[in-house]
Amino acid sequence: MAHLFNRNVVLGVSGGIAAYKSAELVRQLQELGADVRVIMTRGACEFITPLTLQALSGRPVHTELLDAEAELGMGHIELARWADLLLIAPATADLLARLAAGRADDLLTTVALATAAPRLLAPAMNQQMWRDPATSANVAVLAERGFHMVGPADGEQACGDVGPGRMEQPAAIAAAAAGLFSSGLLAGKRVVITAGPTREALDPVRYLSNHSSGKMGFALAQAAVDAGAQTTLVSGPVELPTPDHVRRLNVQSAQDMLRECLALTPACDIFIACAAVADYRPADVAGQKIKKGDERITLELQRNPDILATIAASAAAPFTVGFAAETTDVLTYARGKLENKGLDMIVANDVSDSAIGFNSENNAVTVLWRNGSRELEQASKAAIARELMELIAKEFGASRD
Ligand code: C5P
């Protein structure tokens, strides 16, 4: 059953009588696991109060594009980036026309232009308006530009007419929204993903580690599940909930991580190394807490095994994907790692930019493989993970042909 766990849904409500069903739609989206933020057009506020949708979504409702206070909180660009999905229900004839024209004359149309997330429309209007060639032409333009549609349904309308134009039922719209995230591209495949930092013990109470949040690896695990893969996360210590349907193995050190990964390799089709593995560990772990004493002490470090390179070099190696976090000459170093570690694919990102580095919500990457490359522009880690998983599925498929 498709779901929306860990998904951020911006629900746009435009001004039609079906707007009253948006309240139920918020509930349905939440029941499937989504975090929902609502944008209402002026017209929508004539049909249902923002307060109703605010109470249901548990978040302030966004209505204005040019509101200094709102922009300070979550402005149109933040909303556009926050969204994993923009769902507009109801989408009136006027809204379809404005979207088709590429207008950005209110908050909802602006977010629709500014987001990289998939966009799903649930049209609702009088049957004659739906049948009008102007509306058909707008729908065709929007479909061509990648907008997804659900409905409209056929039947009796609020105005007394009978025909196509009724908004789909909230449950059907929520199901269509969830369906957008389950591609089945990796159905039946087994994906192992390493994530987070490792902790290298110094003594019983201290360790060496790094600031990796694990967010990218966890977003990839979600994307892998959504693509239908049997997914295992081998994760260092992070503060993140395990995505639904993901098997999670918690580890501490690089050596633990290697052990778990090696055990999983024989039954693994795709191995994605997203963990920020400590390159070195203390050469000796003190049995007791190290006491302070001398002004200076020396720590001897021992090189850790390279988990990714080890898996890539193993017999019957899975399709291997690595990450290269670099601060200079990003692509050159990344291509070097692709070759030196014997990988199928590498994802390069520039961590000198704090907007897309460790712990940030967004990422922007360049993906390299033996005979190709692709840039994925700045977007939420969830959106990047989705695009990455599509690329991985494609190249994995090509490698097995
Ligand atoms: O060599 P570098 O650490 O930059 O390589 C990064 C890539 O290698 C990442 O995919 C990371 O998860 C993986 N790696 C690993 N084991 C290590 C070091 C890095 O799997 N010991």
Q: Domain-by-domain residue ranges, the chain? A: 8-178, 190-400
- The phi and psi torsions of 124 (rounded to 5 degrees) equal -155, 120
Test site for ligand 1: of 216, 220, 255, 323, most ligand atoms within 8 A of the Cβ:
323
Q: Over the stretch 32-63, which tens digit does the pLDDT of each residue have? A: 989 999 999 999 999 999 999 999 999 999 99
Ligand 1 neighbour 324 (Cβ under 6 A): yes
CB 59 within 8 A of CB 30: no
Q: Which tokens hold the place of 312?
A: 């890539």
The partner residues of 319 in beta bridges, in order of sequence, read: 270
CA atoms within 13 A on the CB side of 302: 13
Element (H, E) at 87: strand 85-91
Q: Calculate the alpha carbon distances from 372 to 312, 361, 364, 369, 375 in Å.
A: 19, 27, 17, 5, 11
Q: Over the stretch 186-211, which tens digit does the pLDDT of each residue have? A: 988 999 999 999 999 999 999 999 99
Neighbours of 172 (CB within 10 A): 15
Locate the ligand 1 atom nearest the alpha carbon of residue 279 and give its number.
Answer: 21
pLDDT for residue 1 is more than 60: no
Q: Over the stretch 244-296, which tens digit does the pLDDT of each residue have? A: 889 999 999 999 999 999 999 999 999 999 999 999 999 999 999 999 999 99
Locate the ligand 1 atom nearest the alpha carbon of residue 347 and give its number.
Answer: 10
pLDDT for residue 184 is more than 90: no
The alpha helices in 163-298, defined as continuous H runs, are 170-179, 215-226, 254-264
pLDDT for residue 182 is more than 60: yes
What is the Å distance from ligand 1's center to 97 Cα? 49
Q: From the options 1.20.1070.10, 3.40.50.10300, 1.10.730.10, 3.30.565.10, give the CATH code of 190-400.
A: 3.40.50.10300
Residue in the block written with tokens 């039609």: 16
What is the Å distance from ligand 1's center to 208 Cα? 16
Locate the ligand 1 atom nearest the alpha carbon of residue 308 and give its number.
Answer: 20
User: According to the model, what pLDDT value does residue 33 have?
Assistant: 86
Test site for ligand 1: of 212, 302, 307, 327, most ligand atoms within 8 A of the Cβ:
307
- Which SS3 state, helix, strand or coil, does residue 193 take? strand
Ligand 1 neighbour 396 (Cβ under 6 A): no
Residue in the block written with tokens 């590498």: 346
Q: From the options 3.40.50.1950, 3.20.20.70, 3.40.50.620, 2.30.29.30, give the CATH code of 8-178.
A: 3.40.50.1950
Ligand 1 neighbour 308 (Cβ under 6 A): yes
Q: Calculate the alpha carbon distances from 293 to 256, 287, 394 in Å.
A: 31, 17, 57
Ligand 1 neighbour 343 (Cβ under 6 A): no
Selected residue with higher pLDDT from 322 and 383: 322
Locate the ligand 1 atom nearest the alpha carbon of residue 304 and give its number.
Answer: 21
Say how far apart CA 60 and CA 325 lie, in whole Å: 37
Burial class (CB in 10 A: 0-12, 13-18, 19+), 74: middle
Say how far apart CA 109 and CA 13 lie, in whole Å: 11
Ligand 1 neighbour 322 (Cβ under 6 A): yes
Domains 8-178 and 190-400 belong to one CATH topology = yes
Q: Over the stretch 91-124, which tens digit does the pLDDT of each residue have? A: 999 999 999 999 999 999 999 999 999 999 999 9
Neighbours of 1 (CB within 10 A): 6
What is the Å distance from ligand 1's center to 341 Cα? 9
Full strand arrangement of the beta sheet holding 8-13: 35-40, 8-13, 85-91, 119-123, 148-149
What is the DSSP code string of 12-51? EE-SSGGGGGHHHHHHHHHHTT-EEEEEE-HHHHHHS-HH
Selected residue with higher pLDDT from 153 and 354: 153
Ligand 1 neighbour 306 (Cβ under 6 A): yes
Residue in the block written with tokens 């050159």: 332
What is the Å distance from ligand 1's center to 206 Cα? 23
Say how far apart CA 373 and CA 133 lie, in whole Å: 42
List all residues 6 or more positions away from 50 whose beta carbon is below 8 Å from its beta carbon.
38, 40, 61, 63
Ligand 1 neighbour 304 (Cβ under 6 A): yes
What is the Å distance from ligand 1's center to 277 Cα? 6
User: According to the model, what pLDDT value does residue 352 have?
Assistant: 82
- Which SS3 state, helix, strand or coil, does residue 135 take? helix
User: According to the model, what pLDDT value does residue 172 have?
Assistant: 97
Active-site annotation, residues: 159
